[in-house]
Structure 1
Amino acid sequence: MIKEYIVSSTERHSIWELAKEIFTHTSDHSDKTIFSNSLIVEAQLELKIREELYRLSRTGEYDAIIFRQLVDNSLIDIETPNKVRIRRNIDYIFEIIPLLLMSATGFPIAYEVQHNGRIINDVLPVEEFKNIDNSTAGVAKRFNLHTEDAYHNFPPDFIGLFCIRNNEKAATLVSILSDNIFTDKDYSSLFEKLFINQANAGSAQNYNYEVKRAILFGQKSKPNIRLNTARLPQIDNKQISSLLSSFVDILNENSQRVVLQSGDMIIMNNLRCVHGRDAFETDFSVEKRWLLRVLSRRDIAECLVEPFNVNVLL
């Protein structure tokens, strides 16, 4: 289920002050330094917010949670950048807030093959890439449902999207792997290691995609998912290919539209949800849509020996 939590004015003020404290007392605004301080301060998050994050990341009571009005949007008065920023420093107080919440779900991570290994990533339209299929920049096209970084050996457990601006009211699509999906058909073939997930345009370079994995894994009563419907794995077996197509159809039918507003944040269990985005129109001005993306993993032991480096904040 998707939980919606309306942040109170008291909680909002407290979160802003925590982020302000981290920003003010950190001379080096690199990702790693900021996060080191965030780890210390994270325990000071309001109790109710920490409880909700616990229900998402530990008990699995929620598959996703939307924090409404996490930040007073009057405090976010910066223009949307023209292109994705590649600087490694955190420039604004509000950039710390999604990092602060995600640190309560696990270890914030990034991949060296994406965005120069930057922990906080910009998600925004880019005019010259607007017609590229299944990319964050290609807003003229629908971004199909996918597990974040499904191609990677160590995909994130959680993905957070913090909304700085969304005047276009573009919808994030979220589809949850609900139990009723498995009532009509036998999807046991999807638990077999037969499928190769590939990265979307611009996601990664020089990465080995030729690893066959299962689309569904874990407990069959409540499985996890690893699937990129944007670049659907090709299977020679027509029966399994048809089964996969019907499975994707159900995911699309079950998808929910979530419209984030300035100051909102959604955090999704990347093992239980697939997500995407509707196509939308924008004028590509300084007022265009802008989200910040942060990823996290609960277990990082294997990541530290991954040959295609996972950047972990420790």
Structure 2
Amino acid sequence: MTVIDCSEYSAHLLGLTTRLPQIPRKDLYGFLDAAGEAAADLPEDLGAALDDFNAGGNHAGYLLLRGLPVERDDDLPDTPTSTPAPVDRPLQRMEAMLGIVGRRLGLHTGYRELRSGSVYHDVYPSPGAHHLSSETSETLLEFHTEMAYHVLQPNYVMLACSRADHERKAATLVSSIRRALPLIPDEVRSHLYERPMPCCVDVAFRGGVEDPGAIADVRPFYGDPQDPLLGYDRELLAPREPADVEAVSVLSKALDEVSESVRLTPGDMVIIDNFRTTHARTPFSPRWDGKDRWLHRVYIRTDRGGQLSGGERAGDVVDFAPRR
């Protein structure tokens, strides 16, 4: 199962949102604790589908929830033009859904160097944004496994839509290694498995240095050789040896061939398995009229892959440590 229609649960889900504090950033720990309690009361079928995805993923590498409760467009404020969000901003329905669904999966996590360490991110177009930033719009945001270079890489990237782009052109592209693996020759799989390769990092993690170079090492394949995890970034992975360059090229081609497009509309939430996929976003044209595309993003860590050591809480903010 890849797509779940949640419209039949609308009244139930709206009821769960009323149990949450209505100014989430005033006490984010308390808000996410309340979201965790509400997550236990999700509709049975929806909760089971989330639990199954959390336990073993799926072939596509993502789960799309459609028909979640969302405000009418006229009831939303203007799409943000700055970050982070004001502390006193009232709770929005898609933020509530990210809280509840996210807590069913694991722990919301902020990254100190990213968006001032905020846990909830507004994703919106911004003029002159860096080409590696989610705030780009009119250029392709290339395929990347989110923070593949970070020791505490999130298990899930969750994106929820309050407002689509005007022309409904923007698409989130997802490529799953489970789909791509049959297209990769055995010798290339063997070469990529547990093979550390130099990797640069996003601007936020460069410590103010314009170009610190490849300060991390990322293994394109690791874990179970028959069902490997993926570490990939088209812009930042920087193999040097000719054999590595060729192997990554074969991997890149396979990932392109299995790419799926997800066009988010208001009330949609996509949950991306960040250890088995790479994702991208296609270009779109903002109008700068207060009604541009507006997504909400959170990162979730679980106890798989060494991402938790014990004692963490939903809402914790972690420091950068590059993979080696």
TM-score by length of 1: 0.88
| Alignment partners' CA distance in 2, 1:109 and 1:177 | 25
- Which of the residues 263, 268, 272 maps onto 2:267? 263
Query: 1:302 Cα deviation (Å)?
Result: 7.1
| Alignment partners' CA distance in 2, 1:56 and 1:261 | 22
Task: Give the 3-state SS of the residue equivalent to 1:116 in structure 2.
Answer: helix
Matches within 5 A, 1:251-290: 251-290=255-294
Query: 1:254 Cα deviation (Å)?
Result: 1.2
- Which of the residues 31, 39, 53 maps onto 1:34? 31
Query: 1:97 Cα deviation (Å)?
Result: 1.4
| Alignment partners' CA distance in 2, 1:308 and 1:61 | 28
- Which of the residues 305, 319, 322 maps onto 1:309? 319
Task: Give the 3-state SS of the residue equivalent to 1:55 in structure 2.
Answer: helix
- Are residue 204 (structure 1) and residue 205 (structure 2) matched? yes
Query: 1:308 Cα deviation (Å)?
Result: 5.6
The residue number in structure 1 matching 2:113 is: 113
Q: CA RMSD in A?
A: 2.5
- Which of the residues 293, 298, 304 maps onto 1:294? 298
Higher mean C-alpha displacement, 27-36 vs 238-247: 27-36
Cα contact 1:176–1:274 (8 A) shared by 2: yes
Query: 1:29 Cα deviation (Å)?
Result: 3.2
Query: 1:184 Cα deviation (Å)?
Result: 4.4
Task: Give the 3-state SS of the residue equivalent to 2:19 in structure 1.
Answer: helix
Task: Give the 3-state SS of the residue equivalent to 1:17 in structure 2.
Answer: helix
| Alignment partners' CA distance in 2, 1:27 and 1:80 | 18
Cα contact 2:176–2:258 (8 A) shared by 1: yes
Cα contact 1:123–1:292 (8 A) shared by 2: yes
Query: 1:230 Cα deviation (Å)?
Result: 2.2
Task: Give the 3-state SS of the residue equivalent to 1:292 in structure 2.
Answer: strand
The sequence identity of aligned pairs, in percent, is 21
| Alignment partners' CA distance in 2, 1:280 and 1:93 | 24
Deviations 1:206-235 (A, max 9, x none): 299623231111001100011111223232
Task: Give the 3-state SS of the residue equivalent to 1:104 in structure 2.
Answer: helix
- Are residue 231 (structure 1) and residue 236 (structure 2) matched? yes
- Are residue 162 (structure 1) and residue 160 (structure 2) matched? yes
| Structure 1 residues 307 and 92, CA gap change in structure 2 (3 angstroms) | closer
Query: 1:12 Cα deviation (Å)?
Result: 1.4
The residue number in structure 1 matching 2:56 is: 59
The residue number in structure 2 matching 1:140 is: 138
| Alignment partners' CA distance in 2, 1:214 and 1:27 | 37
- Are residue 104 (structure 1) and residue 107 (structure 2) matched? no
Task: Give the 3-state SS of the residue equivalent to 2:298 in structure 1.
Answer: strand
**Amino acid in the other structure paired with 2:146:** E
Task: Give the 3-state SS of the residue equivalent to 1:245 in structure 2.
Answer: helix
| Alignment partners' CA distance in 1, 2:272 and 2:255 | 16
Cα contact 1:196–1:212 (8 A) shared by 2: yes
| Structure 1 residues 115 and 199, CA gap change in structure 2 (3 angstroms) | same
Cα contact 1:20–1:93 (8 A) shared by 2: no
TM-score by length of 2: 0.85
Query: 1:84 Cα deviation (Å)?
Result: 2.6
| Structure 1 residues 74 and 109, CA gap change in structure 2 (3 angstroms) | same
- Are residue 21 (structure 1) and residue 19 (structure 2) matched? yes
**Amino acid in the other structure paired with 1:195:** M
| Alignment partners' CA distance in 1, 2:26 and 2:224 | 42
**Amino acid in the other structure paired with 1:301:** S
| Alignment partners' CA distance in 1, 2:224 and 2:48 | 25
Task: Give the 3-state SS of the residue equivalent to 2:31 in structure 1.
Answer: helix
| Structure 1 residues 59 and 239, CA gap change in structure 2 (3 angstroms) | closer
Query: 1:246 Cα deviation (Å)?
Result: 1.7
Query: 1:126 Cα deviation (Å)?
Result: 0.4
| Structure 1 residues 47 and 110, CA gap change in structure 2 (3 angstroms) | same
Cα contact 1:172–1:257 (8 A) shared by 2: yes
**Amino acid in the other structure paired with 1:84:** T
Cα contact 2:193–2:221 (8 A) shared by 1: yes
The residue number in structure 1 matching 2:251 is: 247
Cα contact 1:193–1:212 (8 A) shared by 2: no
Query: 1:204 Cα deviation (Å)?
Result: 2.5
The residue number in structure 2 matching 1:3 is: 2
The residue number in structure 2 matching 1:81 is: 80
Task: Give the 3-state SS of the residue equivalent to 2:97 in structure 1.
Answer: helix
